[in-house]
A and B are shown apart, each in its own frame.
Chain A
Amino acid sequence: MKIASKIYSALIFIFLYAPILVLVVFSFNDTETGSRTIWSGFTLKWYKMLFEDRLLLEALTNTLIIAVITAVISTALGTMAAIGINAMNKRTKKVMLTVTNLPMVNPEIVTGVSLMLLFVFFVQVFGGKSLGMVSLIAAHITFCLPYVILNVLPKLRQMNPNLYEAAQDLGCTPFKAFYKVVLPEILPGITTGFIMSLTLSIDDFVISYFTSGTTQTLPIYIYSMTRKRVSPEINALSTLLFAVILVLLIIVNVRNSKDKKEGKAN
């Protein structure tokens, strides 16, 4: 049984990682024709081409700007919303949470299309520029907000509500009481919400695709590359992205296990 389950897990993980391995290996493939399936020697030229690709660097910058602005705004707005929702009576709370869940339950393509209609409608009514950075950021905030709220809300529920009042009784102003008592309690939820917003925003393709106009983000650029299906540049890009993620995950994990060990020592 033990061996059978080892073999089974190995097979599933081969299935999960084989395509990624193929991408990585062929990013080093020295080919004239740009073939992505026949191996003909080692090279780093695709990486060099990648860094000389002005459009790609522009798309990357856009993606990062959008992600940071999105994460900051949706974390602030979402945390405020979670505190507000937590204070509501049961029925209002239920209505709020049902609407909040909509972007998570709805197929992405429907959210994308509906936001596209909204932005086109705005342009028609109020004039102004067509779709671009602003509409992208608004769209990203919209699909990130539920994740922030749903991460902060449980922390608020776990918190002892008397603590906040106790702090005020002991002479804290409401702001100070929030800052000194409530914030430290809900901070893990806020941090998770922030990080999730960042990654969701960087990774999003479907909703950006419908709301970007002519602005390029990294996933949109990748999409246009896959349509051309010629250059192993795209393999090089995948390899770099995967390496970055791998390093980040390892750092986070090492830090977590350190925290746990220290937590035990205390």
Chain B
Amino acid sequence: MKNKWLAAPYTVWMVIFIILPLILVGFFAFTDKEGYFTLDNIMKVGQYSNVFLRSIWLGLLATVICLVLAYPLAYIISKASFKQQTVLTMLVMMPMWMNFLLRTYAWMSLLEDNGIINNFLVSIGLPRIHMINTSGAVVLGMVYNYIPYMILPLYSVLTKINGSVIEAAQDLGANNVKVFMKVIIPMSMPGIISGITMVFVPAVSTFIISKMLGGGGNLLIGDLIDMQFLGSAYNPNLGSAISLVLMVIILICMGIMNQFDDDEEGSGGVMI
């Protein structure tokens, strides 16, 4: 059992399929089409700063909404009986098992100008609301797709909070609000952190949700990258530069988040 050479095939795999591809991204980002060193690509990323700002803003918005909506639900589930907990977590997970393209597609038929919601509004005598192809629809898509990733880690830390800690706080004179602010929130911090990362990273880098629900007017970083590699604006060098900047942004965000997380084994949360 002390045979560390068993990891050798994996190490080779890791070098070829994880490290080498990232080196290639770096190489493409700093070279031109002929393979000569250049900083042009990185400079060009600056032109898209509005797209970056929009992605980060919408991603943050979706993350905050997820946190606000998910926390009470996670708390309710953690307080339910054991049997109910199993059923409720199952109900939270089940939509995740459906392909997210299909789930996003479902929102298209709900939000369209002639969609189900608008048909309903008209039938009860209200005016139509334009919803699809707005940034609101994109945020809604993000919240819908990623909210389980917020609920589950929150639930898993909340169930672990020892009830006697809360009682102790109450015995020492804390009222409900104080117990919540001073005991429950700090103790659920690891779950909050992993929930935020698990929602923010996919939300900020999505390209499907913006394509399907955002129309052409709500370009995100993911769409930019997609366009450079498989789209009309074929330019892998610029695409790599954008990917590199995206990676750096996410690393910075994670670094900031980890400042709040003093848990050593902070891998956090549940994995399905």
Pairwise interchain contact A19-B101, C-beta atoms closer than 8 A: no
- Per-position 1/0 for A27-43, Cβ under 8 A of B: 00000000011100000
CA–CA, A237 to B20, complex, Å?
38
Asked whether A150 is an interface residue with its Cβ less than 8 Å from the other chain, the reply is yes
CA–CA, A150 to B270, complex, Å?
12
Asked whether B168 is an interface residue with its Cβ less than 8 Å from the other chain, the reply is no
Asked whether A26 is an interface residue with its Cβ less than 8 Å from the other chain, the reply is yes
Pairwise interchain contact B97-A245, C-beta atoms closer than 8 A: yes
Pairwise interchain contact B1-A109, C-beta atoms closer than 8 A: no
Asked whether A205 is an interface residue with its Cβ less than 8 Å from the other chain, the reply is yes
- Per-position 1/0 for B122-158, Cβ under 8 A of A: 0000000000000000000000100110000000000
Asked whether B160 is an interface residue with its Cβ less than 8 Å from the other chain, the reply is no
CA–CA, A102 to B18, complex, Å?
8
Asked whether A134 is an interface residue with its Cβ less than 8 Å from the other chain, the reply is no
Give the interface centre of B97, B205, B208, B230 by most chain A CB atoms within 10 Å: B97
Asked whether B11 is an interface residue with its Cβ less than 8 Å from the other chain, the reply is yes
Q: Which residue of A lies closest to B26 (CB)?
A: A114
For B272, list chain A residues within 8 Å (CB). Answer: 196, 199
Pairwise interchain contact B76-A8, C-beta atoms closer than 8 A: yes
- Per-position 1/0 for A92-112, Cβ under 8 A of B: 100010011011011111110
Give the interface centre of B4, B90, B99, B225 by most chain A CB atoms within 10 Å: B99
Give the interface centre of B17, B148, B250 by most chain A CB atoms within 10 Å: B17
Q: How far is the CB of A161 from chain B (nearest CB, A)?
A: 7
Pairwise interchain contact A87-B1, C-beta atoms closer than 8 A: yes
- With contacts A15-B144, A88-B4 taken as known, whether A114 is within 8 angstroms of B24 at the C-beta atoms is yes
> Per DSSP, are chain B's interface residues mostly helix, strand or loop, or mixed?
helix
Q: How far is the CB of A145 from chain B (nearest CB, A)?
A: 7
Pairwise interchain contact A107-B205, C-beta atoms closer than 8 A: yes
For A92, list chain B residues within 8 Å (CB). Answer: 4
Q: Which residue of B lies closest to A118 (CB)?
A: B21
Asked whether A17 is an interface residue with its Cβ less than 8 Å from the other chain, the reply is yes
Give the number of residues in A that approach B within 8 Å (Cβ atoms).
83
Pairwise interchain contact A16-B95, C-beta atoms closer than 8 A: yes
Pairwise interchain contact A87-B2, C-beta atoms closer than 8 A: yes
Pairwise interchain contact B6-A80, C-beta atoms closer than 8 A: yes
Q: How far is the CB of B78 from chain A (nearest CB, A)?
A: 11
CA–CA, A105 to B258, complex, Å?
13
Pairwise interchain contact B240-A113, C-beta atoms closer than 8 A: yes
CA–CA, A139 to B17, complex, Å?
8
For B254, list chain A residues within 8 Å (CB). Answer: 105
For A81, list chain B residues within 8 Å (CB). Answer: 6-7, 9-11
CA–CA, A193 to B223, complex, Å?
32
Pairwise interchain contact A205-B99, C-beta atoms closer than 8 A: yes
For B90, list chain A residues within 8 Å (CB). Answer: 249, 253
Chain B interface (Cβ < 8 Å from any Cβ of A): 1-11, 13-14, 16-22, 24-25, 28, 69, 72-73, 76-77, 79, 86, 88, 90-92, 94-95, 97-110, 112, 114-116, 119, 144, 147-148, 201-202, 204-205, 207-208, 212, 222, 225-226, 229-230, 236, 239-240, 243, 246-247, 250, 254, 267, 271-272
Could you name 23 residue pairs across A and B whose Cβ atoms are closer than 8 Å? Answer: A12-B69, A19-B144, A23-B109, A37-B114, A37-B116, A38-B119, A84-B4, A84-B6, A99-B14, A107-B247, A109-B207, A110-B243, A116-B229, A121-B24, A145-B10, A150-B267, A150-B271, A164-B1, A182-B1, A203-B100, A219-B99, A238-B99, A245-B98
